[in-house]
Amino acid sequence: MLMAGAPLPDTRAILPRPAASDDRSWPALTGQKAIDRFKIYCSYMTIQGEAPDQGRPNHSCSGGRTVVPSSDYLKSLVDIEAGRISPEIFIDEDIYRLELDRVFGRNWLFLAHDSMIPKPGDFFSTYMGGDPVVVARQPDGSVRAFLNACRHRGMRVCRAESGNTKSFFCTYHGWAYDTAGNLINVPNLSDAYKDRLSLKDNGLIPVARIESYKGLIFGNFDATAPSLEEHLGDLKYYIDGWVDQVDGGIEVLPGVVRWTINANWKLAAEQFAGDTYHAPTSHASSLLSFGPPFEGKDGAHVAFREGHGESFLFKRHTRFSEDPLSLYNDAKLEAAKARVGDRAEFVANFTAFPAFSGLPGSSNIRVWHPKGPNKFEIWSFTVVDKNAPPEAKKAMQVSASFTEGPAGVVETDDGENWGLIGAILEQGHQARKMRWNYQMGDYPATGHEEFPGAYRDSFFGEAGHRAFYRRWLEFMTSEEWPVLTQEERDAFNKPGA
The domain limits of the chain are 1-20+29-48, 111-209, 228-493
The overall average pLDDT reported for the chain is 85
Catalytic residue among 122, 234, 385, 414: 414
Map residue 335 onto helix, strand or coil. Answer: helix
Q: For 111-209, which CATH class? A: mainly beta
Distance CA 377, CA 242 (A): 25
Read off the pLDDT band of 297 (50, 70, 90): low
Residue 203's pLDDT band, with cuts at 50, 70 and 90, is very high
Q: Which of 71-80, 103-112, 135-144, 442-451 has the lowest mean pLDDT?
A: 442-451
| Closest alpha carbon to 211 in 198, 200, 223 | 223
Strands 216-220 and 109-113, by their bridges, are antiparallel
pLDDT value at 148 more than 80: yes
Number of alpha carbons in the 13 Å side-chain half-sphere of residue 121: 5
Annotation marks residue 113 as catalytic: no
Taking the C-alpha atoms of residue 23 and residue 7, their distance in angstroms, rounded to an integer, is: 24
pLDDT at res. 30: 53
pLDDT band of residue 59 (cuts 50, 70, 90) is: very low
Among 278, 330, 342, 490, which one carries the catalytic annotation? 278
**Is the pLDDT score of 126 beyond 60?**
yes
Residue 79 near residue 89, CB atoms below 8 Å: no
Check if 283 is active-site: yes
Name the architecture of domain 228-493: Alpha-Beta Complex (3.90)
Mean pLDDT of the region 429-440: 95
Residue type, 152: H
Given a cut of 80, whether residue 287 has pLDDT beyond it is no
Q: How many residues does this entry show for the chain?
A: 497
CA of 270: how far to CAs of 129, 276, 430, 469, in Å?
A: 17, 11, 23, 9
| Average pLDDT score over residue span 447-473 | 92
* Cβ–Cβ < 8 Å for 418, 268: yes
Task: Give the per-residue pLDDT at 11.
Answer: 36
Over range 470-482, report the average pLDDT: 97
Across the beta sheet with 167-169, what order do the strands follow?
Answer: 167-169, 176-178, 183-185
Do you find a cis peptide bond into 132, omega within 30 degrees of 0?
no
Identical fold for domains 111-209 and 228-493, yes or no, is no
∠ CA 126-213-473, rounded to 5°:
70
pLDDT on residue 32: 57
Angle (nearest 5°) at CA 39 between 100 and 426: 45
Q: Give the rounded percent of residues in the chain with a pLDDT score beyond 70.
A: 83
Say whether 490 is catalytic.
no
Query: Which of 92, 114, 178, 275 is an active site residue?
Result: 275
Q: Catalytic residue among 92, 113, 231, 283, which?
A: 283
Q: Of 173, 330, 342, 490, which residue is the catalytic one?
A: 173
Predicted TM-score of the model (pTM): 0.85
Kindly state the percentage of the chain with pLDDT values over 90. Answer: 62
In the residue annotation, 278 being an active-site residue is answered as yes
Q: 64-68, 192-196, 206-210: lowest mean pLDDT where?
A: 64-68
Provide the pLDDT for residue 493.
Answer: 93
Q: Is 275 a catalytic residue?
A: yes
pLDDT of residue 293: 61
pLDDT for the residue numbered 229: 98
Mean pLDDT of 159-169: 98
List the beta bridge partners of residue 370. 376
